[in-house]
Amino acid sequence: MSYLMLTFTLIIAVLLIIRKKMKGVSCSVDRDMTGEVVVITGSNTGIGLETAKHLAKRNATIIMGCRDMQKAKQAVAQIMQETQNKAKIELFQLDLSDLDSIRTFVKSVKSKFDQITILINNAGLFGLIEKRVTKQNFEMIFGTNYIGTFYLTEQLLSLFKKENQNRILNVVSYIQKFDSPDYSFFDSNKKYEHIKAYFQSKYYLTLYSLYLNEQYQDSLNLKSVSIHPGVIDTEITRNLCSSIKIINIFLNSFLRYIYTFFIKTPIEGAQTTLHTALINFNQLAGGKYYKECKVEELKQITIKYAKETYNFTNDFLSKLKY
Ligand SMILES: NC(=O)c1ccc[n+]([C@@H]2O[C@H](COP(=O)([O-])OP(=O)(O)OC[C@H]3O[C@@H](n4cnc5c(N)ncnc54)[C@H](OP(=O)(O)O)[C@@H]3O)[C@@H](O)[C@H]2O)c1
């Protein structure tokens, strides 16, 4: 009996340790953000919505860039309710899979704001089993997560003013150890593997953070970092669920309780984004990759590849006349 009790206690203890590790750490920094203007993409749900809510509570003006305006209006209503109608929010439509939509979004932002201080590239797409292409004929995951985010960022750069402390925070993911950038992802005829497309898009975005930091740290007083938020229970699995029924059945069964016991909630997933937005500017490690509110060194993210990839992307878009 006592042996059984001991085994049971040990199993519970191990499960609780795993849970604690999976749930991650909380952001322990704070500051008043009065006067700051923060653009957040994909802020109608998941990590983006939590980020918007928490920065709005600290008095930042939030510009929400969202694809689904119906969901976005509900998100705005939720933020207003949680801030007793004190939040300062502007909502504009943004579809990162369409470069023309990005142009329209930027025009709308520029018509109302002459400066921004933080850009949080949070929006992301995962798990499209069937290949799709963007309006400008990029593979959909790569075109949204990397090309769209790159183009948006380039278009917004003129709103960062040197007299401010500026940040660009790119929400990426786990970064695989690629040997070098694979430019064949720019070709929409490439054989489609959705997982590879996702991880390459996040690898490119991590290289882009380093490039931005190198290029604009002095000239714009701007720091850029990448963020791995962990594994979070959000709508990110929606495409997988609609294609692979077994995942849907799993997520809608009692097994969901076990799964959600271990992985992060959206607010837990937003902690590293909040940390990099709130930490004192001098303490933010520009160009770096953050995980669990701490810097993690990635040897595969080099300035050589960052510059090469930036030039390749820029030339590619110029040839498309964007
Ligand atoms: N959840 C995880 O475990 C996990 C792990 C690692 C990294 N991440 C990253 O974390 C970020 C936030 O994801 P999440 O977990 O919060 O997922 P989510 O709940 O699915 O949120 C993703 C957001 O991106 C938006 N989006 C997708 N495609 C878009 C497009 N073409 N144009 C504009 N917005 C678009 C979505 O808008 P709609 O509602 O209109 O679709 C949604 O607001 C993503 O970059 C994701 O890759 C998540």
Mean pLDDT of all residues in 140-160: 98
Q: Is residue 78 part of a domain?
A: yes
Q: Is residue 171 part of a domain?
A: yes
Q: Is residue 5 part of a domain?
A: no
pLDDT computed for residue 134 by the predictor: 98
For every residue of 134-153, DSSP letters joined together read -TTS-BHHHIIIIIIHHHHH
Q: Is residue 10 part of a domain?
A: no
Distance from C-alpha of 30 to C-alpha of 48, rounded to nearest angstrom:
18
**Helix 149-156, helix 99-112: angle, nearest 10:** 30
| Confidence check: pLDDT of 125 > 70 | yes
Mean pLDDT of all residues in 45-65: 98
**Is the distance from the beta carbon of residue 229 to the nearest atom of ligand 1 less than 6 Å?**
yes
Q: Residue 198 catalytic?
A: yes
CA of 9 to the centre of ligand 1 (A): 38
**Helix 303-319, helix 149-156: angle, nearest 10:** 90
Q: Tell me the pLDDT band of 1, cut-offs 50, 70 and 90.
A: low
pLDDT computed for residue 238 by the predictor: 87
Q: Is residue 16 part of a domain?
A: no
CATH of the domain at 93: 3.40.50.720
Q: Is residue 209 part of a domain?
A: yes
| Confidence check: pLDDT of 137 > 90 | yes
113 vs 1, higher pLDDT: 113
Q: Is residue 250 part of a domain?
A: no
Provide the number of structural domains found in the chain. 1
CA of 60 to the centre of ligand 1 (A): 22
Distance from C-alpha of 203 to C-alpha of 142, rounded to nearest angstrom:
11
What is the span of the domain harbouring residue 41?
Answer: 31-236+266-319
Name, in order, each residue with C-beta under 8 angstroms of 309's C-beta and a sequence gap of 6 or more: 181, 204, 207, 208, 211
CA of 2 to the centre of ligand 1 (A): 48
Q: Is residue 195 part of a domain?
A: yes
